[in-house]
Amino acid sequence: MRKSTLWGTLAVLAIAGAGAWWGLQGRGPGGAAPAAAGASSPAAAASSPPVNVTTITAERRDWPVRLAATGTVSALNTVDIRAQVSSVVAGVHIKEGQFVKAGELLFTLDSRADEANLAKAQAQLERDQAALADAQRQLARSRDLFNQKFVSQSAVDTNLTLVESQQAAVSADRAAVAAARVTLSYNRIVAPAAGRAGAINVFAGSYVQPSSAPLVTITQLDPIAVSFTLPQRNLPDVLAALKAANAPVQATLPDNPGALTGRLQFVDNAVDASSGTVKVKAVFDNRDLRLWPGAYVNVELSVQTMKGVIVVPQAAIIQGSTAKTAFVVGSDGKAALRKVEVLASAGNDAVVDGIEPGMRVIVEGKQNLRPGGAVRERTADGAREGAAGGRRGSGASGAGAGAREAAASQAKAER
């Protein structure tokens, strides 16, 4: 009885083992494991979809080297108008904020006292001129009498001395008349230079004197200057640009994107030891009055021009641990990694060595790329071009990519 039970148990185990073996052998190439192995094969990786990228064509051109700084607008000419004599304001002939020309009348003062002094000086001049004329006649008579031996030489000398004394008096009177006229002219206050009038601090009837506050301030606004500082290391380039007299300077207001172009005019004769910078000044035409004294502007000074260099966007450059690189699209439509050297950079552009003109440099999408990977280009203007493994704008390549995507979707549905 026990032997039959044992043999029955062994038979059941043998049947179960055979069934398990048969089941394992029944899983063919279409099973789950072979399919998974096939997905990770090199052939599947080669058929992966292309990476969308944005490219720009590297170009060879002249590139200006610019130095950036923050500057302050300042007037080339600012004059405080003050009274030169103590008097009362008789009239104000301008308005606040008015643009005036050189020589234009600004204020008149009470000039009655100065007019009287001028008249007195002129009267004294006329009296001494009459006395001189009489002394000259006396001298002429005495010389005639001396020739006739009626008077001595001493009489002639006395009359000559009288004439010379009266001539000196007349000269002094003429100087007094000129001084009186100068004093009288102080009662007419005119603009010494063209510019814009500021706030007027006096009115008709106000008493003014030389020690009083300025009557008004005239500020020249066109042309106008922008002052800024540059590091000491840039001094040789700035001096060379100043000597060449062709260094353009661009100024941009923070709230106005439009740039104004001026010219370099002045470099200070000493470096500030406390900051290691040198003061620089540029002059700008300001007919539309966009620049105002005291305003802050962003300044760019072009010190030299690099001739025939390759310029690419700085966004295309990849900063590595040991070198800088950039992705380009090869003739086969696949990404290629190029080692580059940045020679100069400013703003969004960089001058590089290692890229040839006409190469399509990848600007966006490079984070998903590997060397030799297929790409689908989108130019900087947003137009999609090309496809994986084909030329730019190739319809056959686009159709091939669509067919591969449809086949992959069909295989996935069958699985």
> Tens digits of per-residue pLDDT, 31-41?
433 333 333 33
CATH of the domain at 302: 2.40.30.170
In a domain, 7, yes or no: no
Q: Answer yes or no: do 92 and 144 share one domain.
A: no
Q: Answer yes or no: do 196 and 141 share one domain.
A: no
Which pLDDT value is given to residue 1? 47
Q: Answer yes or no: do 164 and 288 share one domain.
A: no
Give the model's confidence band at 42: pLDDT under 50 very low, under 70 low, under 90 confident, else very high.
very low
In a domain, 23, yes or no: no
83 touches 215 (CB < 8 A)? yes
Query: Looking at 131, 161, 185, which one is the last position of a domain?
Result: 185
H/E stretch holding 12 reads helix 2-25
Q: Answer yes or no: do 345 and 377 share one domain.
A: yes
Which pLDDT value is given to residue 405? 45
Q: Answer yes or no: do 402 and 339 share one domain.
A: yes
> Tens digits of per-residue pLDDT, 273-292?
999 999 999 999 999 899 99
Which pLDDT value is given to residue 13? 67
Q: What total number of domains does the chain contain?
A: 4
Is the pTM of the predicted complex or chain greater than 0.85?
A: no
d(CA 117, CA 107): 21
Domain that holds residue 160: 111-185
d(CA 81, CA 219): 11
In a domain, 2, yes or no: no
Q: Answer yes or no: do 386 and 321 share one domain.
A: yes
> Tens digits of per-residue pLDDT, 139-185?
999 999 889 888 889 888 999 999 999 999 999 999 999 999 999 99
Tokens of 391: 């030329």
Report the candidate in 236, 237, 230 with the shortest Cα–Cα distance to residue 302. 237
Give the model's confidence band at 23: pLDDT under 50 very low, under 70 low, under 90 confident, else very high.
low
pLDDT at 238 over 80: yes
Q: Which strands make up the sheet holding 188-190, listed edge to edge? A: 188-190, 105-109, 87-92, 207-208
Residues 369-379, mean pLDDT to the nearest whole number: 81
288 touches 337 (CB < 8 A)? no
> Tens digits of per-residue pLDDT, 49-75?
788 888 888 888 888 888 889 999 999
Q: Answer yes or no: do 322 and 410 share one domain.
A: yes
In a domain, 51, yes or no: yes
Q: Answer yes or no: do 350 and 410 share one domain.
A: yes
> Tens digits of per-residue pLDDT, 352-366?
888 888 888 988 888
Residues 298-315, mean pLDDT to the nearest whole number: 87
Residues 118-146, mean pLDDT to the nearest whole number: 94
pLDDT at 76 over 70: yes
- Higher per-residue pLDDT: 48 or 387: 48
In a domain, 383, yes or no: yes
Report the candidate in 380, 387, 339, 340 with the shortest Cα–Cα distance to residue 363. 380
- Higher per-residue pLDDT: 24 or 56: 56
H/E stretch holding 51 reads strand 51-57
CATH of the domain at 210: 2.40.50.100
> Tens digits of per-residue pLDDT, 98-122?
999 999 999 999 999 999 999 999 9
Give the model's confidence band at 385: pLDDT under 50 very low, under 70 low, under 90 confident, else very high.
very low
Q: What are phi and psi of 261, to 5 degrees?
A: -110, 125
DSSP state of 211: T
> Tens digits of per-residue pLDDT, 242-267?
888 778 899 999 887 788 999 999 99
Percent of the chain with pLDDT over 90: 45
CATH of the domain at 118: 1.10.287
In a domain, 15, yes or no: no
Which pLDDT value is given to residue 8? 63
- Higher per-residue pLDDT: 88 or 46: 88
In a domain, 31, yes or no: no
In a domain, 360, yes or no: yes
Which pLDDT value is given to residue 48? 57
Q: Distance between terminal CA atoms of the chain?
A: 53
Which pLDDT value is given to residue 244? 82
Report the candidate in 371, 318, 366 with the shortest Cα–Cα distance to residue 342. 318
Query: Looking at 164, 185, 206, which one is the last position of a domain?
Result: 185
